[in-house]
Structure 1
Amino acid sequence: MSLTHAILKEHVGVDSERIIGPDAVCTQMIRHWCEVMEDTNPLYQDEEFAAQSKHGGIIAPPTQVQVYTMTPLWPKVERPATPQELIVKLLADHGYTSIVATGQEQEYFAPIKPGDQISYTISVKEVSPQKKTARGPGYFVTFLYAYVNQHDEKVCDQTFTILAYNAISKEGGDKE
């Protein structure tokens, strides 16, 4: 069976089960992040300053949200495949084995604080029709990560877009 845009669209809007991050938000990881990024925002490290803010204490840089949910490389964690993993495998099974990231955006809703336990669901937000690109024919796929804290309060939505393409074939065009 050949791959069509309609087959790929069947994956849009299906949420993964909730994936709980392995690490709670902590001041040590915030410090490391700020050191590497050379970020001097006092909300992230100055206890006295942060206590006087509307947050009432230290918060983590919002761009750090994904750090607390990254699956450890070892030991291997067993869990059901996510919609992202399933569609990437489907594409690869049909020759679209090369992937390049093309975009990422984050929208923040609430601060993350030391002690917070961040979890997320992931879904396929949208899939383009097959496109003819300089790299070969391929599909742009956008994923939506919805991050929440332990109180089920949404802290961030992140979109991540890839181009999955067939680097061997330089022929393009929609297969529908």
Structure 2
Amino acid sequence: MALTREEIEKYLSLESEKIKGPDAVCEQMIRHWVEIMEDENPLYSDEEYAKNSEYGGIIAPPMQVQAYTMQPVWPKTEREPSPMERFIKCLRDEGYTSIVATHQGQEYFAPLRLGDEISYTITVDQVSDEKQTSRGPGYFVTFLWTYYNQKDELVCKQSFTILAYNAGA
């Protein structure tokens, strides 16, 4: 059964409280990223090069921002569910229990510096009308993560779109 536009509107543009990431930007996580991605950018690993750059020191790859905010799997972090989590629960309760990611984008505003502590908010940004897809009826839902450093400077905006669908319909 399709959600009404009125039900969907209850979730749109709601922004979560700021959620602080558990890890500060650090050389070890940068090293792991650089190794696995085989990224040779000296700004991420060459202290002397980075010190003489416009940044004045080592920075983290910007696309790594989400890694610093991922909550531990164990022990489970207790907090209020975000608008995204509440909306996904609403979709599941209505039978849209299957999810596939369809798009992600990031826009960067400030570098990630060693020692930065990253926090973020989540917003339900856009929800399509119900679409009939080859997977079943569903909704394309775009969430917006907004990342900040400890100085409350905007670091990154990340959009993430999913298709939440009813595979059994």
Shorter-chain TM-score above 0.5: yes
The TM-score range, normalised by the shorter chain, is over 0.9
Structure 1: runs of 5 or more not aligned: 170-176
Give, in angstroms, the shift of residue 9 of structure 1.
2.1
Give, in angstroms, the shift of residue 132 of structure 1.
0.7
**Alignment match, 2:157:** 157
Distance 2:4 2:88 in 1: 14
- Please give the TM-score of this superposition, normalised by the length of structure 2: 0.98
How high is the sequence identity, in percent, across the aligned residues?
64
Q: Which of the two has greater strand per residue?
A: 2
> Is the 8 Å Cα contact of residues 5 and 128 (structure 1) preserved in structure 2?
no
> Is the 8 Å Cα contact of residues 25 and 114 (structure 1) preserved in structure 2?
yes
**Alignment match, 1:48:** 48
1:77 is aligned to 2:77:
yes
Q: Runs (4+) of structure 1 moved beyond 3 Å?
A: none
Measured against aligned partners, the alpha-carbon deviations of 1:65-103 in whole angstroms (never above 9, x if no partner) come to: 000000100001000000110000000000000000000
Alignment of 1:1-176 (within 5 A): 3-169=3-169
Distance 1:48 1:34 in 2: 17
- Please give the TM-score of this superposition, normalised by the length of structure 1: 0.94
1:9 maps to amino acid: E
RMSD of Structure 2 on Structure 1 (CA): 1.0
Measured against aligned partners, the alpha-carbon deviations of 1:8-35 in whole angstroms (never above 9, x if no partner) come to: 1221110001100000000110001000
Distance 1:70 1:139 in 2: 26
Count of aligned positions: 169
